[in-house]
Amino acid sequence: MHYMCILFSNQLNKFYIGSTSQTPQVRLLKHLANHIGFTAKAKDWKIVHFAPFNSTQEAKQREAQLKRWKNSQRIQALIGRSATE
């Protein structure tokens, strides 16, 4: 199984969109661990949405589609709530 995930950081007031072949919970732990990259800027990331896919290609296509939106209001509508709730 492959996943497209949306994470949110209250500290940064930002979304992170990614795809993984790991479970979303395992991948979140890696984002919260010490590392280099965008998600290293905060330690309060939480999973606000994820969707399963049958292939890496499908998950990456959905990730790319959401990243093209570049609009937090559309992402909030997708996850069905305000990101700050």
For the cut 80, the answer to whether the pLDDT of residue 84 exceeds it is no
Tens of pLDDT, residues 59-79: 999 999 999 887 778 888 888
pLDDT of residue 75: 86
Q: Is 46 helix (H, G, I), strand (E, B) or coil?
A: strand
Q: What is the pLDDT of residue 83?
A: 46
Which pTM does this prediction carry?
0.85
Q: Residue 53 in 3-state DSSP?
A: strand
Tokens of 63: 């990730």
**Long-range contacts of range 13-18, CB-CB < 8 Å, 24 or more positions apart?**
13/83, 13/84, 15/48, 15/72, 15/75, 15/83, 16/45, 17/63, 17/66, 17/67, 17/75, 18/63
Residue 82 has pLDDT above 50, yes or no: no
What is the reported pLDDT for 34?
Answer: 87
Domains of the chain: 2-79 (3.40.1440)
